């Protein structure tokens, strides 16, 4: 698979790279960012995935996420994919920040015209891991996943559906029940169609109701987040985890909002939390 190096920059005792490749899943060129700490020859490092939120690309967390110092300290690779397919061939909803490009919601779309390119679930679950395993010093037996907002939804749903692969799951300000909030109802309705049964695989609360389980879930949520009441509704996750007996750690952070000023504040905590779980033998 031809991988193009767009940039590789020395930072925090490692290499921050940006790469692109033709994706079979999305039918487009896809760009992603990877930070690799310095390491011994032939050493394989654990991997932390970060899925970004609405309107973002791979670049937002790369510039504002403040993860490199912690990843270097813990010897962890950090992977930041894009949030949707890109390019002129990809259908879009140009005036809508919460649908189309920049808003793939980590689903494999079932409805025309979205289903041809919007295959972010398979891209993140299958295609990009193969590239990572082939091209980077990644120990694919030690993976963890996190994300922000729409990407927190992505991390929780992908992590829960693949609990054997991801030893730990965390999220910043995640959308926990897209089936029940405006962002999610719009996106799932148009990508998947209006049979709500097909939405359940893309809804954290539904997945847990349907039996998904994970012993290592961490969520940070700011109390001053403008989206908390309408779109995020963290209490629904707390409630379903309590019912299911899942020991999720959900921390409400007083005065913090939805921005990278919040994410960057707790990023090092999340990296350390995942590192503790990835260092133990699986």
Stretch that binds a copy of itself, among 7-15, 96-104, 119-127, 167-175 (CB under 8 A): 7-15
220 touches a copy of itself by CB under 8 A: no
Report which DSSP code applies to 79.
E
> For residues 130-169, which are near a copy of itself according to CB under 8 A?
none
Report which DSSP code applies to 123.
I
63 touches a copy of itself by CB under 8 A: yes
**Integer CA distances (angstroms), 192 to 55, 83, 227, 265, in order:** 20, 17, 23, 35
Q: Which of 1, 4, 11, 229 binds a copy of itself (CB under 8 A)?
A: 11
Q: For residues 36 and 12, what is the distance between their CA atoms, to the nearest angstrom? A: 10
- Contacts from 112-120 at CB under 8 Å and sequence distance 24+? 114/190, 114/191, 116/27, 117/26, 117/27, 117/28, 117/85, 117/89, 117/90, 117/91, 118/26, 118/84, 118/85, 118/90, 118/191, 119/25, 119/26, 119/85, 120/26, 120/83, 120/84, 120/85, 120/154
Q: For residues 48 and 166, what is the distance between their CA atoms, to the nearest angstrom? A: 9
268 touches a copy of itself by CB under 8 A: yes
CA neighbor of 13 nearest in space, from 33, 44, 38: 38
225 touches a copy of itself by CB under 8 A: no
Binding mask 235-254 for a copy of itself (x = CB under 8 A): --------------------
Q: For residues 184 and 177, what is the distance between their CA atoms, to the nearest angstrom? A: 8
* 258 flagged as catalytic: yes
In this complex, which beta carbon is closest to a copy of itself, that of residue 44 or of residue 64? 64
The structure tokens listed for 7 are: 């940039």
9 touches a copy of itself by CB under 8 A: yes
* 270 flagged as catalytic: no
* 115 flagged as catalytic: no
269 touches a copy of itself by CB under 8 A: no
Catalytic entry in 149, 168, 170, 206: 149
Q: Which of 78, 123, 256, 273 binds a copy of itself (CB under 8 A)?
A: 256
Stretch that binds a copy of itself, among 64-72, 107-115, 193-201, 241-249 (CB under 8 A): 64-72
Q: For residues 221 and 234, what is the distance between their CA atoms, to the nearest angstrom? A: 8
Work out how close the CB of 270 gets to a copy of itself at its nearest, in angstroms, rounded to a whole number.
14
Stretch that binds a copy of itself, among 8-16, 43-51, 90-98, 156-164 (CB under 8 A): 8-16
Active site residues: 149, 225, 258
Binding stretches for a copy of itself (CB under 8 A)? 9-13, 16, 63-64, 66, 68-69, 222, 224, 255-257, 259-262, 264-265, 268
């Amino acid at each position: 698979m031809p991988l193009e190096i767009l940039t590789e920059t020395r930072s925090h005792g490692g290499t921050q790279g940006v790469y692109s490749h033709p994706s079979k899943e999305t039918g487009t060129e896809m760009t992603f960012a990877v930070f690799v700490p310095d390491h011994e020859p032939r050493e394989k490092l654990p991997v932390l995935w970060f899925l970004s939120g609405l309107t973002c690309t791979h670049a937002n967390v790369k510039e504002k996420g403040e993860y490199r110092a912690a990843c270097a300290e813990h010897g962890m690779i950090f992977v930041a994919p894009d949030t949707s397919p890109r390019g002129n061939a990809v259908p879009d909803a140009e005036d809508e920040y919460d649908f189309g490009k920049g808003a793939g919601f980590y689903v494999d779309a079932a409805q025309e015209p979205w289903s041809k390119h919007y295959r972010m679930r398979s891209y993140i679950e299958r295609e990009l891991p193969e590239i990572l395993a082939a091209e980077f010093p990644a120990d694919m037996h030690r993976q963890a996943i996190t994300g922000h907002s729409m990407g927190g939804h992505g991390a929780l749903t992908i992590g829960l559906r693949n609990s054997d692969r991801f030893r730990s799951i965390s999220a910043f300000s995640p959308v926990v029940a897209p089936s029940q909030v405006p962002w999610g109802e719009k996106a799932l309705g148009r990508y998947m169609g209006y049979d709500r049964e097909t939405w359940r695989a893309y809804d954290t609360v539904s997945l847990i109701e349907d039996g998904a389980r994970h012993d290592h879930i961490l969520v940070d949520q700011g109390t001053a987040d403008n989206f908390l009441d309408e779109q995020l509704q963290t209490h629904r996750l707390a409630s379903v985890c309590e019912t299911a007996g899942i020991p999720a750690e959900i921390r409400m952070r007083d005065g913090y909002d939805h921005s990278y000023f919040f994410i960057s504040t707790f990023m090092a905590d999340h990296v350390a939390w995942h590192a503790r779980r990835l260092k133990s033998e699986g």
